[in-house]
Amino acid sequence: MEQIQEIRDSTPMDGISMSAITRNSAKPPPVSCECGCGEALYPVRFWMPEGGAWRYPTLCSLQEEEYKRQKRAETLRWNIEWIDEMFPRRSMGPRQLEATLDNYEPFEGILAGLKAARSYLDHWEENEKRGHGLIFQGEVGLGKTHLISAIVNELNRRLIFSYFLSVPLFLERVRDSFDEVNASEGKVMRSLAAPKLLALNDMGAEKSSQWAIERLYQLIDDRCNYRSPVLVATNLDARGLASVYGARIMDRLYEMCGAPIRLEGDSYRKRRK
């Protein structure tokens, strides 16, 4: 990794760097990569005003792939930090950042949620292409937030830009943006169009004024139009969501996610007593 970091500092943006070796007309023989992988590096002919030159690639295939992976990881971190900076606090705390499907503790009433989450990740490419998401619905303490956090964490581990957003925090931030010169509502909304997957936590927990419903509809409608999937975690059942948000938002959510996945049973807190 240290070797790659040193190479990055002198490597062009396309990830291919060449080292000049000779201006002889005869093509030099290949050389073995210094990283020990055994790959043969073949010289490439370059033409310059003072004559041609043969140059060897600086990176072998493995080094080039690692370099590109590091660049994707760097871009992913920048994108997440870019959105985080628009909010007064991060939506994901340590508990959410540590969530995985392997450390989820299922019982009979919530197994459907775990099964749906695993299937969703297993078929991510198809789900992304279709713009398909999921709605997890159930009472407090059944692990809905854990499931959507785990999906976001796994996709980010794969370097697929995903973002976890608290709906109450989102609406608080958009309201505050009216009083700020450099952080307009539009800027916040545009930033949330960027993730490949957007997870909306605690939907229905906010005070749902008509203003709030319109902003949430705009966010969901934009992602629906561009087939950008969303995940939803809510304590409200289908009837409750419809009564709070009305037909427009529910129509979009059903179009994107299908029927809610119901989690049932006693909360983790009650089960541990």
- Among the residues of 110-237, which ranges form H helices? 111-122, 124-130, 144-157, 167-177, 185-191, 210-225
107-153: pLDDT as tens digits: 888 999 999 999 999 999 999 999 999 999 999 889 999 999 999 99
For 58, list phi and psi in degrees, rounded to 5.
-75, -35
The single-letter code of the amino acid at 48 is: M
| Whole-number Cα distances in Å, 250 to 50, 78, 193, 219, 239 | 68, 33, 19, 13, 10
Report all structural domains of the chain as residue ranges with CATH numbers, in order of start: 2-63 (no CATH), 86-271 (3.40.50.300)
Task: List CB contacts of 37: < 8 A, sequence separation 6 or more.
Answer: 60, 61, 62
1-42: pLDDT as tens digits: 333 333 333 344 344 445 545 555 677 888 888 888 888 888
pLDDT-derived band at 272, boundaries 50, 70, 90:
low
pLDDT-derived band at 211, boundaries 50, 70, 90:
confident
| Whole-number Cα distances in Å, 237 to 6, 12, 204, 242, 261 | 54, 53, 10, 9, 10
- Report pTM: 0.80
